[in-house]
Chain A
């Protein structure tokens, strides 16, 4: 059952998921950040994420999603409050360390991919880690294979399509083998096939035990993929909980989002108290039970 917290603080103690004690790998406490032009991007944000979770970070444009991701990677340091990764507070003395633990895939791959060849670009991060050349090469090959870009390794990035650049950007972060991977709008401008491939890649990373935090506007993706949802509004945490949160009309409306498409289809068709499906699999299951079971009369009129 989805849990919903408003304005709650955080808890440093391990949480229980499915009966197991899981370490909280990211803890954000009362985080504030204001840009030099005076715009408040984050205003007292607090939440935590358990190790190995798939988390969707949602919110309208300007809600503070990207700013938050930059804090988790140590690109921005808190002006007030604190951010902890694996129990260590991010500060000027730990920001380099945190970048070895937290990988950030930027929204626009052109910001990230700009070396002379794909291979060079993917090697950028591992080289910064000071790895020996053989290890760098191995990681580059593995990362490019993971995103299906191995055959493009000698191509200049500017000759690639947007989707291919995006895959290279992800490979550049995978090659650093971070424990936590942050992706800023990874689905934006990707065609359906590329989105499906990315979905599979994220599932694979999840199976490997990585903690994934995806900033997205895509409600359908978040509802079907995430285990935890964080919704921001104007730099504050509007709500957090399991993906069923995205079925609450008042919350999604307030966050300038919408209900998942499958939920919209069933909205008003089900008896009161029957939960709406949040993804295609849930909708199929519900439809199947409606067609074969006693609830088929719902469709008779």
Chain B
């Protein structure tokens, strides 16, 4: 029974998932109520629970986003004018957090969590090729989908390349963690970035040739013409409507408030 329920989300037509979850994100991330944004998160956690997605993966994705966006959000709460809330002395520098700034930071964090959870739900319950095929079937231009597809695929290739180069430098005594102000470190890292760009270009070219060798003709194999789009069934439509309805209700509730 539990497995059956978990499969519902995985089994949904990817087109429905894309429309419903993108629509949900668009509606919910424009909310300004912290309470309603929290309800949006609660709803997505409910769906993630139904889909039986692993909690630690969700947390990992959120923590990565926190690392990237955290400093900007903190900065925002410092530069937003308003009622002083907390003072912080850093050396001779006096920083003041305002209530308005803190509220804005919380608002942005909740919006970010909503968007990331929706994205997580979509990507963890749909295979990459199904997603690309669904975009095509939703009449997203082929060029856009191809660019999206290659960006995602090349990202992992470049990451691996960077890891290999970093390890090779470490093996020859380069210490990670020195200050960027250190001339030698800065020089080494800038060379690393330059070499990465050149190598990435060469590898991209080889990957492209390897794709051509296996019959790639500029159109993703996820959408050959011979693959007719299946009809949407009632279950797909009900679930899609349910997700969108929840977002609409939150939006209407905000209007009421």
Residues of chain A whose beta carbon lies under 8 Å from any beta carbon of chain B? 70, 73, 75, 96, 99-100, 103-104, 106, 108, 110-112, 114-117, 120, 123-125, 127-133, 158, 172-173, 176
Contact of B207 among A75, A104, A114, A172 (CB under 8 A): A114
A-B contact count (CB 8 A): 77
A110:B160 contact, CB within 8 angstroms: yes
Asked if B245 is at the interface of the complex by the 8 Å CB criterion, the answer is no
Known: A70-B209, A114-B207, A115-B153. 11 other contacts (CB 8 A): A99-B215, A104-B213, A110-B203, A111-B203, A111-B207, A111-B210, A114-B156, A123-B129, A123-B221, A128-B216, A128-B217
Contact A125 B215 (CB under 8 A): yes
Given the complex, which residues of B lie within 8 Å of A112, measured CB to CB?
207, 210, 213-214
A173 to B214, CA, bound (A): 7
Q: Return the contact of A115 from the options B128, B217, B225 (Cβ within 8 A).
A: B128
Are the C-beta atoms of B153 and A73 separated by less than 8 Å?
no
Decide yes or no whether B201 CB sits under 8 A from chain A. Answer: no
> B11 at interface (Cβ–Cβ under 8 A)?
no
| Smallest Cβ-Cβ distance to B227: which chain A residue | A133
- Report which of A70, A120, A128, A158 forms a contact with B156, defined as CB distance below 8 A: A158
| B209 cross-chain contacts in A, Cβ below 8 A | 70, 75, 111
Partner of B153, one of A114, A125, A129: A114
Verify A130–B213 contact, CB threshold 8 A.
no
A99 touches B213 (CB 8 A): yes
B211 adjacent to chain A (CB < 8 Å): yes
A128 with B221: in contact, given A114-B156, A120-B128, A133-B227 (CB under 8 Å)?
Answer: yes
Q: With a CB–CB cut-off of 8 A, which chain B residues contact A100?
A: 215
Residues of B within 8 A of A111 (CB): 203, 206-207, 209-210
Contact of B214 among A70, A124, A133 (CB under 8 A): A124
User: In the complex, which range does the number of interface residues on chain B fall in?
Assistant: 20 to 34
Asked if B226 is an interface residue, CB under 8 A from chain A, the answer is yes
A183 to chain B, nearest CB (A): 12
Q: Which of B129, B211, B221, B224 has the most CB of A within 10 A?
A: B221
When the two chains form their complex, are residues B221 and A127 in contact, meaning their CB atoms are under 8 A apart?
Answer: yes
Let me know if A106 and B215 touch, CB within 8 A. Answer: no
Task: Give residues 189-226 of B contacting A (CB, 8 Å).
Answer: 203, 206-207, 209-217, 221-222, 224-226
Is the CB–CB distance between B212 and A99 below 8 Å? Answer: yes
Q: Which residues of B contact A103 (CB under 8 A)?
A: 213-214
Contact call A125/B214, Cβ cutoff below 8 A: yes
Of A110, A124, A172, which is within 8 A of B157 by CB?
A: A110
The reply on B170 being an interface residue by CB < 8 A is no
CB of B127 within 8 Å of the partner chain: yes
A133 vs B129: C-alpha distance in the bound complex, in angstroms?
12
Task: Mark interface residues in B153-182 (1 if CB within 8 Å of A CB, else 0).
Answer: 100110010000000000000000000000
Given A70-B209, A127-B221, decide whether A176 and B128 contact each other with a Cβ distance below 8 A: no
In the complex, the answer to whether A73 meets B213 with C-beta atoms within 8 Å is yes
Partner among B129, B210, B225 whose Cβ is within 8 Å of the Cβ of A106: B210
The answer on a CB contact under 8 Å between A127 and B217 is no
Judge whether A127 and B203 touch: CB under 8 Å.
no
Report the separation of the CA atoms of residues A96 and B213 in the bound assembly, to the nearest whole angstrom: 9
Query: How long is the Cα–Cα vector from A124 to B222 in the complex, in angstroms?
Result: 8
When distances are taken between beta carbons in the complex, the residues of chain B under 8 Å from A120 are 127-129
Across the interface, name the chain A residue whose C-beta is closest to B211: A124
Q: Which residue of B lies closest to A173 (CB)?
A: B214
- Alpha-carbon gap, A106 to B205, bound state (A): 13
Q: Is the CB of B156 within 8 A of A176?
A: no
Closest to B214 in A: A125
A158 to B160, alpha carbons, bound, how many Å?
8
B216 proximity list for chain A (CB < 8 A): 124, 128
Interface residues of B in 217-240 (CB under 8 A from A): 217, 221-222, 224-227
Contact assessment for A99 and B214 in the assembled complex, using a CB-CB cutoff below 8 Å: yes
